[in-house]
Amino acid sequence: MTLQETLASISKSGLPLQGKLDALKFEFETNLAPPAAVEALHRSTNELIASGAQNRALKTGDIAPEFTLPDVDGNPVSSKLLLDKGPLVVTFYRGIWCPYCNFDLTALEEARPEIESRGASLVAISEQTASNSRKSQRQNGLSFPILGDHGGEVAAQFGVRWTLPDYLRGVHKALGADLTQFNGEDSWTLPMPARYVIAQDGTIAYAEVNADYTRWPEPSAVFPVLEQLGRRA
């Protein structure tokens, strides 16, 4: 099967998010990607884990940085104004080229009514260009915004930005994921998979950061956090 056929089949599987990601990883690494590319991807993931990067990201109890970022139409979206209305759920999104991340976005869209019913707003933050984010929203059927974090400045403030090693950049290009094209700049940085719930006072009430791009938390993990915040209000 082609990648698109594989994605379509997994999408219809009814598996939870991590089940879909595991199925994608197996098919991609076994049947779709060149062995040398798989080896490089494993190497970079292992190096990132060994660096302790995910342990240096902001954690539960830390104060989240305030940010104002443009949506796909260039309109500024302020975390402060969103927090005036209720808690804020933030997910960091690598880009439209990443099928693992797209499964995460569609899972969040499915969970969005439950998130909003608990009084929270939901946003994704990505370094990719506005045109690519617009395409991501359309292809994934999203009703929540993808905000543009040019160069990953906000990702860096949360401690989730990392720089791809030189050997991985060539692999990305060979796999059709040239970040200089998708992100419109040449820093070759990405956010680690990260999900945050920010309380109205700016305190991080939930944080899940993983250096392995194939591991994402289930969106339902934020429901009890939002319920607890609602009881405090």
Neighbours of 93 (CB within 10 A): 27
Report how far residue 5's alpha carbon sits from residue 159's, in angstroms, rounded to the nearest whole number.
35
Reference 113, options 144, 138, 135, 137; nearest CA is: 144
Among 37, 90, 101, 111, the one annotated catalytic: 101
Q: Which amino acid belongs to residue 192?
A: M
98 in active site: no
Q: Residue 163 pairs with which residues in a beta bridge? A: 189
Q: What residues are labeled active site?
A: 101
